[in-house]
Structure 1
């Protein structure tokens, strides 16, 4: 099994920053308790408060996929529909 690093880059609409932030914060405790989650840290850009980034490490891609299929993620996507300008997820592997 190879550890998987995820970088999730989220930009909220300017009029929805605080709402999106609160919805993202709700994901942390649940996700950190999931099987396979090694790290799940939310960051907010110091110069652009609408820009958020999750830095995640998972035991395997399979366990990350379980996370992605979870109800809490579905609830987040439903709650923030139309409030997020962009959401890009990158799957990364450590190479050095």
Structure 2
């Protein structure tokens, strides 16, 4: 099975930036403990502090599926749903 890389772009509404950042950091802590997690990093844009990129690598598609069912992931999505201006998630496989 192939490693799955996830790149997620999360843009917080200006007034919710601190809250979204706090929730993202909680998500990172929980996600890094998962058996199938290779790495789970949160980056904040240097020019637009409302923009965050999640860079994740998972052992396989099953590990990513299990991640989406964890209480910390489900809780994160519920907590921030009204606080985001944008969310896009790209699941990718290395080809070279």
TM over 0.5: yes
Structure 1 vs Structure 2 CA RMSD:
0.7
Stretches of structure 1 lacking an aligned partner (at least 5 in a row): none
| 1:1-96 equivalences in 2 (<5 Å) | 1-96=1-96
**Higher mean C-alpha displacement, 5-14 vs 68-77:** 68-77
TM-score calculated relative to the size of structure 2:
0.96
Shift of 1:15: 0.7
TM-score calculated relative to the size of structure 1:
0.96
Mapped partners of 1:42, 1:90: distance in 2: 15
Please identify runs of 4+ aligned residues in structure 1 that moved more than 2 A: none
Stretches of structure 2 lacking an aligned partner (at least 5 in a row): none
Aligned length: 96
